[in-house]
């Protein structure tokens, strides 16, 4: 594609009105799946029975592929005005690829799915129909009820992770790992993905005030390409879960987390030292007692955690007062807001 053609295509997309739906697909070494994937997404959206018909764009985010996927995306985007190829300069991970797509999305609805064709593109209109007809739902999460994956290496760890995440975050879903999800755009605007937090988007969305529903979707066995995930991701999920729980419960009150733990350590340490002081006043030798060292260590560790909580409180206040992130979101209805689409109003 020549530079003139690229410039003309970009100008055409910029001048066109925003679509109703932005479909975000992160891609990493999926060359064999790309033609079929893009064709099936187009077919699903063209044949959708959602009324009124919804216009769409497909944001294909290449996450530093090395198998020729980047060149193939360029070729296909040149002949499809609704296809936008976003090419990351290296492999950043799925969370960053999704965030790149979210930043570029222009539709009032945002849909995500994987590029491995295990998700069924024909299910996209079903999720959109739920958002169109139910104003009390801001996000629809897919549920791979009949998952076509290996039982031991994929399904069993996934069930354990789903149970653990649901119990820990309070957002009860059957399938956190299903990539097929649909959102109202204001929900996407309220969250930011870092590291590997894409697994916890429902929890992050609930924290941002989203109302979540779950729908069964179809799932297929992978027929081309290789999976990018292994059993080792189970351990990473546990670490990320600790981070998400902290964000959800203590992001705006870190003193309650660090200070609470600090008090649990400092209180017994103080009691130990007071008792040893009493023993000293009664004439007993306490210099060689291991209990003295334990009391000092508990007190010092507790004080350090309390100070860390105070520092966290200062950072939270600087963070919000700088205007980088609103402290809360509010809904506003009336005066051209009858459909509730002003849910992204922030204060």
Are 191 and 290 in a shared domain? Answer: no
pLDDT digit string (tens) for 293-334? 999 999 999 999 999 989 988 887 777 676 666 666 666 555
Phi, psi torsion values for 214, nearest 5 degrees: -130, 135
* % residues pLDDT > 70 (the chain): 81
Higher per-residue confidence, 216 vs 341: 216
Residues 302 and 325: their CA atoms lie apart, in Å, by 31
Three-state DSSP class for residue 215? strand
Predicted local distance difference test score (pLDDT) of residue 150: 67
Are 205 and 294 in a shared domain? Answer: no
> Cβ distance 262 to 304 under 8 Å?
yes
In a 10 Å sphere around its CB, with 0-12 CB exposed, 13-18 middle and 19+ buried, how is residue 205 labelled?
buried
**Band of the pLDDT at 335, cuts 50, 70, 90?**
very low
Q: What is the mean pLDDT of the chain?
A: 82
Residue 185 lies in a domain: yes
Residue 298 lies in a domain: yes
Are 205 and 262 in a shared domain? Answer: no
Q: 96's torsion region: left (phi>0), alpha (psi -120 to 50) or beta?
A: alpha
Residues 41 and 21: their CA atoms lie apart, in Å, by 12
pLDDT digit string (tens) for 169-178? 888 888 888 8
Mean pLDDT of 24-34: 92
Are 167 and 298 in a shared domain? Answer: no
In a 10 Å sphere around its CB, with 0-12 CB exposed, 13-18 middle and 19+ buried, how is residue 182 labelled?
buried
Domain count across the chain: 2
Strand order in the sheet with 109-112: 83-87, 56-62, 21-27, 109-112, 181-184, 139-144, 212-217
Higher per-residue confidence, 114 vs 225: 114
Are 231 and 266 in a shared domain? Answer: no
Predicted local distance difference test score (pLDDT) of residue 298: 94
Residue 87 lies in a domain: yes
Residues 137 and 128: their CA atoms lie apart, in Å, by 11
Mean pLDDT of 51-56: 81
Are 65 and 183 in a shared domain? Answer: yes
Residue 308 lies in a domain: yes
Are 280 and 233 in a shared domain? Answer: no
> Cβ distance 330 to 279 under 8 Å?
no
Higher per-residue confidence, 252 vs 28: 28
pLDDT digit string (tens) for 129-155? 999 999 999 999 998 888 776 666 667
Mean pLDDT of 288-297: 90
Task: Name the pTM for this structure.
Answer: 0.75
Are 23 and 118 in a shared domain? Answer: yes
Are 226 and 286 in a shared domain? Answer: no
Predicted local distance difference test score (pLDDT) of residue 123: 92
Are 41 and 148 in a shared domain? Answer: yes
Residue 6 lies in a domain: no
Residue 37 lies in a domain: yes
CATH code of the domain covering residue 174: 3.90.550.10
The residue segments making up the domain with residue 118 are 18-250
**Band of the pLDDT at 62, cuts 50, 70, 90?**
very high
Are 129 and 231 in a shared domain? Answer: yes
Are 208 and 74 in a shared domain? Answer: yes
């Amino acid at each position: 594609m020549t530079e003139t053609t690229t410039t003309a295509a970009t100008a055409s997309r910029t001048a066109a009105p925003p679509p109703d739906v932005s479909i975000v697909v992160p891609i990493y070494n999926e060359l064999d799946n790309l033609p079929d994937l893009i064709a099936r997404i187009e077919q699903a959206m063209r044949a959708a029975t959602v009324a009124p018909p919804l216009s769409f764009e497909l944001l294909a985010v290449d996450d530093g592929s090395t198998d020729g996927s980047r060149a193939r995306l360029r070729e296909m985007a040149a002949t499809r005005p609704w296809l936008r190829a976003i090419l990351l300069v290296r492999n950043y991970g799925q969370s960053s690829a999704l965030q790149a797509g979210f930043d570029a999305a222009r539709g009032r609805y945002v849909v995500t799915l994987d590029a491995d064709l295990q998700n069924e593109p024909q299910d996209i209109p079903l999720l959109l129909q739920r958002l169109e007809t139910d104003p009390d739902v801001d996000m629809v999460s897919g549920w791979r009820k009949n998952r076509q994956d290996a039982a031991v290496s994929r399904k069993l760890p996934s069930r354990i992770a789903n149970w653990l995440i649901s119990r820990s975050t309070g957002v009860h879903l059957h399938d956190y790992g299903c990539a097929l999800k649909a959102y109202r755009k204001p929900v996407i605007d309220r969250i930011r993905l870092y590291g590997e937090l894409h697994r916890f988007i429902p929890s992050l969305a609930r924290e941002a005030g989203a109302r979540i529903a779950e729908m069964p979707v179809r799932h297929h066995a992978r027929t081309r390409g290789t999976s990018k995930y292994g059993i080792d991701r189970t351990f990473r999920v546990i670490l990320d879960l600790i981070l998400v729980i902290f964000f959800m419960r203590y992001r705006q009150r870190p003193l309650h987390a660090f200070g609470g733990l600090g008090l649990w350590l400092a209180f017994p340490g103080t009691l130990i030292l007071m008792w040893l002081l009493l023993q000293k006043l009664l004439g007993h030798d306490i210099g060689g007692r291991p209990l003295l060292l334990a009391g000092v260590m508990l007190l010092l560790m507790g004080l350090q955690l309390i100070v860390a909580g105070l520092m966290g409180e200062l950072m939270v206040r600087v963070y919000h007062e700088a205007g980088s992130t609103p402290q809360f979101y509010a809904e506003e209805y009336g005066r051209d807001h009858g459909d509730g689409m002003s849910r992204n109003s922030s204060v």
